[in-house]
Amino acid sequence: MEDDNNNKIVQDEPGESYEFKYNFVNTPWDDRTLKSKVGIVTLLIAIFTATMACVIHNLITHFDRSSHHLSEETNCNLVKVDEYKYVARIHLVETQELLCVGAVLSLTSVLANSVCTKSGPIRMRLGSPSDPRCKKGFSVDVLEPVNYEGVLSKLVLLSSYENMAECVQTAIKVGNSVNWKSQAYIIGRPLRGGRSLSRQPANLVDLESQNPGFSLRNPNIKETICVMDLGKCPVRAGDLLVQNGYLIGLASTSNHAMDQSKLACFADIRVVRKGLNNIDSDIISEK
């Protein structure tokens, strides 16, 4: 009957069997040929060597960078914060990282590069870092943009609702003139935060009468001051350019790797004196 045929169990044909076959991966070690064993050992050595090479390369790169940064800081002339009491230190609230420096222009105002305000909430530390009243710093509650048409930088005036007067021991005056033949100094942020600042001499470049051998993207010469013949100490955004005790420039951008001309450019503070006074009448300029 058909039902009997459909219910029959199909049996394997006599002599048919399934044999498990080993391959290169699952063959037991004792069953491998000498050539196979040598191949596996060689492969493992190659993998171990490549892994160690990557680890060593990463370690060398890390220490090279650390050594380079240490070398840069060694070449920076460091001075104590107390020697330049008109320099504000701008810190990131979350990590306490020193982002940049600014110029204390009055009992209530600090001039800074706008890039220093874009990483998150910040605090300004003024006065001596050893003074417990000033160690905590001050919140930035008011941020006033300064009318400046330079293409390299935007300037902002920072102030706080807290009383900063007790920590503002001195303010710097805004310069009205520049002596292109006289040396200026750059006061800036060191590589590592702390109780020091970087200080380096710089020779001014009169862009209107000289060709420094570089090009700026649509430079507004009348609102830019450039310096050259800098050493290995990097310039960072917001660093102060000072001549004869007056503030004449604020660094436009960070310049870690100097080019062959060893040149850096600053926003010319002279052209915004009137705008600064409109915001804060207590800001004093050179007569």
pLDDT tens by residue, 183-214: 999 999 886 666 899 999 989 987 766 655 55
CA distances from 144 to 109, 148, 164, 245, 280 (A): 10, 12, 17, 25, 10
Q: Looking at the predicted structure, is the pLDDT value of residue 258 above 70?
A: no
Hey, is 272 helix, strand or coil?
A: helix
Residue 177: DSSP 8-state = -
Hey, is 28 helix, strand or coil?
A: coil
Side chain identity at residue 236, one-letter code: R
Closest to 166 (Cα-Cα) out of 191, 193, 138: 138
For residues 161 and 139, give the distance between their C-alpha atoms in angstroms, rounded to a whole number: 8
The pLDDT of residue 61: 64
- Burial grade of 220 (CB within 10 A; 0-12, 13-18, 19 or more): middle
Hey, is 223 helix, strand or coil?
A: helix
Alpha helices in the chain (DSSP H): 2-6, 34-75, 132-135, 273-279
Q: How many CB atoms lie within 10 A of CB 96?
A: 11
For residues 135-147, give the mean pLDDT: 92
Provide the pLDDT confidence category of residue 248 given band limits of 50, 70 and 90: very high
The pLDDT of residue 101: 95
Which H or E run includes 50?
A: helix 34-75
User: Global pTM?
Assistant: 0.71
User: Tokens 């048919």 map to which residue?
Assistant: 16
More confident residue, 158 or 233: 158
The pLDDT of residue 246: 96
The pLDDT of residue 36: 76
Residue 173: DSSP 8-state = P
Q: What is the pLDDT of residues 149-180, one digit of tens each?
A: 765 668 999 999 999 998 998 999 999 999 99
Provide the pLDDT confidence category of residue 40 given band limits of 50, 70 and 90: confident
Pair 236, 250: CB distance under 8 Å: no
More confident residue, 207 or 22: 207
Pair 76, 187: CB distance under 8 Å: no
Q: Is CATH 2.40.10.120 correct for 79-279?
A: yes
For residues 163 and 151, give the distance between their C-alpha atoms in angstroms, rounded to a whole number: 34
Hey, is 113 helix, strand or coil?
A: strand
User: Average pLDDT of the chain?
Assistant: 80
The pLDDT of residue 219: 55
**Tokens, residue 129:** 């870092």
- How do the domains of the chain map onto residue ranges? 79-279
Pair 240, 173: CB distance under 8 Å: no
Which residues pair with residue 5 across a beta bridge?
A: none
Q: What is the pLDDT of residues 65-103, one digit of tens each?
A: 444 444 444 468 899 999 999 999 999 999 999 999 999
Closest to 76 (Cα-Cα) out of 237, 239, 231, 246: 231
